[in-house]
Structure 1
Amino acid sequence: MNIKNIVNRDIVNLTNCEHEPIHIPGSIQPHGFLLGLDNDSLLIEFCSANSAAFIKLAPEALLGKHLTAFLSEEAFGAFRSYIKTDTFDSSRPFVFTLDDISFNTTIHPSGNHLILEIEPFPDGTLNLPNLYNQTRKFVSYMEKTTYLGELCQNIADETRQITGYDRVMIYKFDPEYNGEVIAESRRQDLDSFSGQKYPHTDIPAQARELYIKNPLRMIADINYEPVPLLTLDNTGEKSNKSLDLSLSILRSVSPIHVEYLKNMGVGATLTISLLQNQKLWGLIACHHYSPKILPHYTRLSALLHGHFLTSQIAVRETAEEFEVSQGVEKSLSESLELLHQHEDFIEACHQSPALLTLANASGSVIFYNNKLYKNGEVPADDELIPLFSFLAANYSTSGLVTNELTKTYTEHANLSKFAAGIIYHSLAPGTPDGIVWLRKERIETINWAGNPKKAVIENAEGLRLSPRKSFELWMEVVKYKSVSWRKTEISAAGTFTYSLQKHINFRVILDQENRNRILNDELRTANKELANLNWISTHDLKEPLRKIQIFASKVLDREDPDLSAMVKDSVERMRFAAEKMQMLIEDILTYSKTGNMEKVFKTMDLNIILSNVLEELSINIEEKQAIVNRVPLPELNVIPFQVHQLFVNLLTNAIKFTREGITPVIDIRSTIADSEDTPGIMLPRDRKYHQISFADNGIGFEKEYQNRIFGVFQRLHPSHKYPGTGIGLAICKKIMDNHRGFITADAEPGQGATFTLFFPAG
């Protein structure tokens, strides 16, 4: 029979200690022995080398054998019944007796194996602890303690009493997993470790993971000799067998951790995990200065203390947070009330004490419209303005909460006197406007248990991690940091900022309304004046023009030999100018009416309107021998007389701007369109339009004029050849605006032009 051990012989040093495979050491502590059974056959595949010390059977007599190799048939039957349960209850371990010695067996699965950890009862008792008395004490702790620190001290005292360890400490971890002793119970002759901190390197990441998986860990004798685990070396099988001992109570300990405890002078330990939200919150650490084997049920009593404290952590932290939040909420309510009572809160109330206490800040600053509004203890203006510019450039949307501003705003350590920590929110993204709460620097002296930076030593083998040989008090001064912000303070600052933003926006809207009101009054006055001018242009100017035209006609109709050709030409020019001015006045009147007249919509068949327009323009069409091709048009909700004017203007232009020798052809088309159908036109998304186009084969125009052509008095061609006022297309655009639609133009010189109308569908 070939037997081999599975001891993990990876060398642990400075470069790989964070990756030490502490869950598969391949060895155990000697105060018990271990068997690894195949799940299906229950044959013994692993056995610790010390089995003979407990049951007088060496590994050679057990490996590959059935449990009945040392268990009686009756005991094996009880074992089979025990492992049929879904879960293994550590409070009811499997117990068997051999040679009048009772053995406690804790069982747990590990991959394809069952791990049996077998220990004799060191004090000979198989009784459970007095749970009634223990629970009664827990209730009394709950009733007489208010704060978490008080409760931790009670738990430390009680744990030491029931376990008998020389020292019991309760650690709390910070976010970086540096541990601090927040409660301690000890022998009077021992120096206190209370308040001391231990760096995160003392408990590497993989060790913390095991503390989460296995909440209880015991080392009975720091000077123990690890007992290797043995297995059969079957031919053809891989030689790197291992057994995951993450949940094992007997699992051997990292040699680095052993050296660490030796340097502290510790002889035995018990460690209980304290968890919150599946993370390691802290530890109950029990130290003894000589070897100590704690019985199974006493370990469970200590573990119950851990469970009780774990159940109270969130409750007590919430209670402490609530106590702070009451003051914060009161100040927040006062600040919001001031905000609602004063139209100009920033100017009038920026120095309110409540604005500071809502976040328990030492100072606050509002930067608004290039002005600083300061409250409490704050830096100088020439330091604050660059700070707001930096924050606006980097945190305008997310805000910033930090208790160490120098990490973010580098090279500005001088700010820490007043602004070591800040809560910042922008008031208007895209501007430097914002609000910031400040906390002064709190210079802190940390009491480390030895210098945490001297965890590395150099020996003949090179650099290696050395658990500090000196645990004498070593103090470190920490600067440029403030007290951390609590959740309630951060929330209150955010709530107030949101209300302040609404307040500012409301003020802006009020100011804009006032400006609009003044502007509307001015526009109303201007409109009255324009109405008077319109009356003058449409009545007072028309009458003189008509008289000029009549006088000119009479002069030209006379056959007076005394009138020279020059005089007749001058009179003809005068008459033509008067006609042109009258046409201009009428077009201006039409343009004005298009925007000012009451807009009465009516559902109309556009085919009827188009037929009326064609009838009205029939003489012009016949004179030009124009061809008008049309398709059925839709029925729409329109202003009838304006659409009539619209069609008249478009058809008149198409008839007017023709090429010599070319028969004018006008195509009127209609379809439904949306933004995807017209990629060159910026139509609103998710909306359909009736698209009606008027296309001709006339003289056209350059592309550069396709937008300008809709302006008032925009003429592209000489008036003597193509008479007009340049207002017709401006009237078309205003009509389409009145219908919440669009008009576009597209043309090629000498090829014709297309004017397209877009009426909203539905």
Structure 2
Amino acid sequence: MEHGRRVDLLNCADEPIHIPGSIQPHGALLFFSAAGLLEGWSANAPTLLGIAPEPGIPCASLALPSAALELLCDYIGPADAEAAPSMVPVSVHGLEFDCIVHAACGRIIAEFEAREVGADEVARFAVKAHASIDRLRRQKSIEGLLSSAVDQIREFTGFDRVMAYRFRPDDSGDVVAESRREDLVPYLGQRYPAGDIPAQARRLYILNTLRSIVDVHYQAVPLLGAPDAAPLDMSHAVLRSVSPVHVEYLKNMGVGASMSVSIVINGRLWGLIACHHMSRRLVPYSVRMAADVLAQVIGSTIHSIEARLQSEMVERSTATRARVIADLVLDEDPLETLSRHAGAIMTATASQAMIACHYGKLLAHGDLPPGLAEAIVASLPENEHDLVLRESLGDWPPALHAQLGKWVGMMALPFDPGAGGWSILLRVEQIEQVAWGGRPEKTTALGPLGTRLTPRGSFDAWYETVRGHAQPWEATVLGNARLALAELVRVMTSRRAQLDATRAQLLAMLGHDLRDPLHSINMAGMVLEKGNSQPTLGKRIQSSTSRMQRMISQVLDMSRIDGGLGLGVALEPVDLTALVEDLMDEARMAYPTIPFQLTCDEAAMVNADSGRLGQVLSNLLSNARHHGEAGKPVRVCVTVQGREAVVEVSNAGAPIPPELAATLFNPFKRASLNNPRNRTGMGLGLYIAQQIVREHHGEIAYRHEGNEVIFSVRLPLLDDA
């Protein structure tokens, strides 16, 4: 049977380590067909076990201890049967062995591993292991769990050094916990490259979670049998010989014996417990199995901790997403919504900056240098409908490299591609000083098998500064971002459909509402043409043209808002009380039959556009006049509350029904159409008023109190007022 193949670093990635054709010499191996007929044996089996093996003889014909034969008989069955290992202690010619039997790949494998300690000592090991399991289950953090684990495993196995590795997404591994003999050089904090564990070795680490090398200076014992026998798959064998490259690697580290226990979570090699001894060491099979159970407990506990942390992150992200979507449904400006929730969004995604843009308007949050936000937006693809991810400097267009600075991580959500709508999250560069366990690159040297590529010989920490990389976007963050993107697109699609319907409605309304004033102007013109001068015609023309001008102004304002341009307020110090008094004087002159009362007039200075703010207050006065009960006054009150100026306009009237109150600040409200008390309204007034107040960083609201309808406007006071 084939064994002892020449291997170096050029071909170790292809080495068939599961069929080495040899075993370690501290035991003997026999393998049988599924029917129990001998197919092969290790070369030392006749001497260690006192048998005379021949191909094809039944297992019962071998002079093996009765306990071993009984265990073997339990495994005889169908050729495709797979069976987990079982162990029974046996004695052969005064030597103690652990007989381990398992079935795999149509064969039954019996291994006789020498045991150098008595049953009483093994029992004491088991008691220690059980106590360790209980202590580990009480750990609440991964760091505390692994730190405790290496201490516990070293205590009951007796290794000189026990380390916990945690693998990164690129398969490199960090030593995150270590328990060692005091005179040994510490490896804690060092990183080992992915190439230290080839792909086929990772597969075996998952398939067989425990591997032991009793003495790195061992001479492999070949397997014998029929010349045409298929190689024996030893993936689950405890005596399996290991790769000569790995043996050389351990020798270069000064290690005499090793044991590794895999930490496997959901079928993924999460980490390793690596045990090193500076001389030969044989840990009994039962103790190794206790360590294996311990690793399973570690994996289960890590999985629970990670699941809890992930659940908390998902819960926070879901709550933030729900709040953003709920506000986006109600708000007219998506940028304002995203800006208001920027802090929560950045916290939920572990981002340090955020950019939002729509219709060419851009808002940025975070420590971004001037011009960078615009450059980032310009670098994004047009008409993209999926997330755009960048995690390192190399993912960005070269022209941006010099301008990016520390901002190398990006996740961009195209929530409205047609309008250039992006929500962009940024992460900073993680400058990391990596302590490699020796230089990670391959070197050519004279090894035991001649001049070839060999494992590195120095494991002193070799430091490398890694730049240009941000923390990769976690699967949880990406999953939540895709859900958020889908909901954002749904809201924007719904809004676009509503906008299209609104535009159609606007055209119909303009066609209807402009017809009357145009007809009046036309009739007045015809009368004037005939020379029959009447004093009322001038007023009629003035009234109709004012009505048309008001409608056209509202439509223009609506277009600016929908286009994302804003209303363009020019802020300056304004005496709010004086502005209110002027507007009320105008209202009294225009409508002398309606009592307008200024019930309170505290002095209040605000930073405002007096024309636009006057537009808001005039709209509120007009609404109060139209909708208030006949003969009842329209009251206005100006007060100062904390750092805000508050203007309240009230009129006597019943409360607005809840279903109408919910749409008060929406454009083209059904309640505005064909309203006999507001025949000239298109439903745009309050919508535009709200946009104006928002551009003043204020709020406008409705409430009903004491048989009165009250609209209030809150504005921040001037800083030095």
2:163 alignment counterpart: 169
- In the TM superposition, residue 515 of structure 1 has moved relative to its aligned partner by 3.7
Counterpart in the other structure of 1:191? 185
Does structure 1 residue 83 correspond to structure 2 residue 75?
yes
1:317 aligns with 306
Instruction: Return the alpha-carbon distance in structure 2 between the equivalents of residues 222 and 70 of structure 1.
Output: 32
Q: Deviation at 1:476?
A: 1.4
Which residue does the alignment assign to 1:518? 506
For residue 146 of structure 2, give the secondary structure of its aligned residue in structure 1.
helix
* Aligned residue in 2 for 1:361: 351
Residue in 1 that maps onto 2:232 = 243
- Separation in 1 of the partners of 2:320 and 2:505? 38
Distance verdict in 2 for CA 1:525–1:77, change over 3 Å: closer
Instruction: Assess if the C-alpha contact under 8 Å between 2:24 and 2:240 holds in 1.
Output: yes
In the alignment, what sits opposite 2:252? 263
SS of structure 2 residue aligned to 1:24: coil
After superposition, residues 576-725 of structure 1 pair within 5 angstroms as: none
Q: Which has the larger radius of gyration?
A: 1
**Partner residue of 2:23?**
28
Percent identical residues: 31
Against the structure 1 CA distance between its residues 44 and 21, is the aligned structure 2 distance closer, same or farther, given a 3 Å change threshold?
same
2:153 is paired with a residue whose SS is helix
Q: Distance in 2 between matches of 1:114 and 1:348?
A: 67
Residue among 78, 90, 100 paired with 1:96: 90
Which position in structure 2 is the counterpart of 1:439?
427
Hey, what does 1:46 align to over in structure 2?
A: 40
SS in structure 2 of the partner of residue 392 of structure 1: coil
Alpha carbons 1:27, 1:48 under 8 Å: kept = yes
Deviations 1:475-514 (A, max 9, x none): 1111111123334433444454445445545554565455
TM-score (norm 1): 0.62
Listed as ranges, the gaps of 5+ residues in structure 2 are 521-721
Q: Which residue identity does 2:452 align to in structure 1?
A: R
Partner deviation per Cα, 1:218-273 (whole Å, 9 max, x = no partner): 0000000111111244xxxx4x7422211111111111000000000000001111
Distance 1:157 1:49, change over 3 A: same
Amino acid at match of 1:350: S
How far does the alpha carbon of each residue in 1:408-452 deviate from its partner, in whole angstroms, 9 at most, with x for none?
545533354343111111122355431110011111111110111
Q: Which residue of the partner structure matches residue 709 of structure 2? A: none
- State yes or no: 1:121 paired with 2:109: no
Q: Distance in 2 between matches of 1:490 and 1:98?
A: 60
The residue type equivalent to 2:361 in the other structure is K
Aligned equivalent of 1:727: none
Q: Equivalent residue for 1:372? A: 362
C-alpha distance in 2 between matches for 1:348 and 1:301? 56
Distance change (3 Å), C-alpha of 1:279 and 1:73:
closer
C-alpha distance in 2, partners of 1:247/1:108?
A: 8
Q: Distance in 2 between the 1:72 and 1:12 partners? A: 36
Distance in 1 (alpha carbons) for counterparts of 2:429 and 2:106? 56
| Letter in structure 2 aligned against 1:152 | L
Secondary structure, aligned partner of 2:109: strand
Residues 230 and 407 of structure 1: CA distance in aligned 2, closer, same or farther (over 3 Å) = same
CA–CA distance in 2 between the matches of 1:275 and 1:460?
A: 34
Change (3 A) 1:82 1:51: same
Q: For 2:399 and 2:444, locate their aligned partners in 1 and report how far apart those are by CA, in whole Å.
A: 31
Is the Cα–Cα contact under 8 Å of residues 23 and 241 in structure 2 kept in the other structure? yes
Change (3 A) 1:268 1:422: same
Rounded to whole Å, the distance in 1 between the matches of 2:469 and 2:460 is: 26
Contact 2:68 2:88 (C-alpha < 8 Å) held by counterparts: no
Tell whether the 8 Å contact from 2:3 to 2:222 is kept in structure 1 after alignment.
Answer: no
Structure 1 residue matching 2:186: 3-state secondary structure: coil
How far apart in 2 are the matches of 1:517 and 1:355?
A: 36
Q: Which of 10, 26, 29 is the equivalent residue of 1:15?
A: 10
Q: In structure 1, what is the equivalent of residue 100 of structure 2?
A: 106
The SS at the match of 1:153 is helix
Q: Distance in 2 between matches of 1:419 and 1:436?
A: 12
CA deviation vs aligned residue, 1:367-426 (integer Å, no higher than 9, x gap): 211222111123543x54454344334x81221234225235455333543431111111
Secondary structure at 1:94's aligned position in 2? strand
Aligned counterparts of 2:68 and 2:498: Cα–Cα separation in 1: 87
CA distance in 2, matches of 1:131, 1:402: 50
Q: Within 2, Cα distance between the matches of 1:375 and 1:72?
A: 77
Partner SS, residue 490 of structure 1 = helix
Relative to structure 1, the CA distance from residue 9 to residue 221 in structure 2 (aligned partners, 3 Å threshold; closer, same or farther) is: closer
Offset from partner CA, 1:503-538 (integer Å, 9 cap, x none): 545554565455434321333368899999xxxxxx
Deviations 1:318-355 (A, max 9, x none): 22334445554565455456545643241476264234
Letter in 1 for 2:293: L
CA contact (8 A) 1:388 1:433 kept: no
Asked whether 1:308 is paired with 2:293, we answer: no
TM normalised by structure 2 equals: 0.65
User: Equivalent residues in 2 for 1:201-220 (5 A)?
Assistant: 201-220=195-214
- Give me the whole-angstrom Cα distance separating, in 2, the residues matched to 1:193 and 1:102: 36
Q: 2:59, 2:448 → 1: CA distance?
A: 48
Alignment of 1:56-71 (within 5 A): 56-57=50-51, 62-63=54-55, 65-68=57-60, 70-71=62-63
Task: Tell me the amino acid that sits aligned with residue 361 of structure 1.
Answer: S
Name the SS for the 1:105 alignment partner: strand
**Which of 451, 456, 460 in structure 2 is aligned with 1:472?**
460
CA contact (8 A) 1:358 1:492 kept: no
Q: Counterparts of 2:251 and 2:128 in 1: how far apart (Å)?
A: 36
Q: For each residue in 1:267-302, what CA deviation from the matched residue of structure 2 results, as whole angstroms up to 9, or x when unmatched?
A: 000111111221211111110000001111111111
Q: What one-letter code is carried by the residue in structure 1 that aligns with 2:15? A: E
Instruction: Identify if the C-alpha distance between structure 1 residues 329 and 136 changes in structure 2 by more than 3 Å, giving closer, same or farther.
Output: farther
SS at structure 2 position matched to 1:422: strand
For the residue of structure 1 that corresponds to 2:507, the secondary structure is: helix
1:100 positional shift: 3.6
Q: Give 1:278's aligned residue.
A: 267
SS in 2 for 1:350: helix
Distance in 2 of aligned mates of 1:215 and 1:348:
51
Residues 447-596 of structure 1 mapped to structure 2, 5 A cutoff: 447-457=435-445, 464-502=452-490, 504-505=492-493, 508=496, 511-524=499-512
The one-letter code matched in structure 1 to 2:223 is L
In structure 1, C-alpha distance between the alignment counterparts of 2:67 and 2:88, rounded to whole Å: 10
SS in 1 for 2:405: helix
Tell me what 1:644 maps to: none
Aligned to 2:32: 37
* Distance across 2 between alignment mates of 1:348 and 1:251: 63
- Following the alignment from structure 2 to structure 1, what is the Cα–Cα distance between the partners of residues 398 and 265? 34
> Which residue, out of 200, 205, 208, partners 2:194?
200
Q: Do 1:14 and 1:456's aligned partners in 2 also have CA atoms closer than 8 Å? A: no
Does the 8 Å CA contact 1:342/1:348 hold for their aligned counterparts?
Answer: yes
1:467, distance to aligned residue in structure 2 (A): 1.2
Q: Secondary structure at the match of 2:134?
A: helix
Query: How far did residue 140 of structure 1 move?
Result: 3.5
Contact residue 336 and residue 499 of structure 1 kept, 8 A:
yes
Letter in 2 for 1:71: A
Q: Pick the aligned partner of 1:221 from 197, 212, 215.
A: 215
Q: Does the 8 A contact of 2:358 with 2:419 survive in 1?
A: no
Cα distance in 2 for partners of 1:411, 1:249 equals 56
The superposition leaves residues 22-54 of structure 1 with CA deviations (integer Å, 9 ceiling, x where unpaired) of 1111111000011122332x3332121122442
Give the number of equivalent residue pairs: 515
Give 5+ residue unaligned stretches, structure 1: 1-5, 533-762
The question of whether the paired residues in 2 share the 8 Å contact of 1:416 and 1:441 is answered with no
Q: Quick one: structure 1 residues 19 and 130, their matched pair in 2 at CA, closer, same or farther if it must change by over 3 Å?
A: closer
Instruction: Output the CA distance in 1 between the equivalents of 2:24 and 2:126.
Output: 29
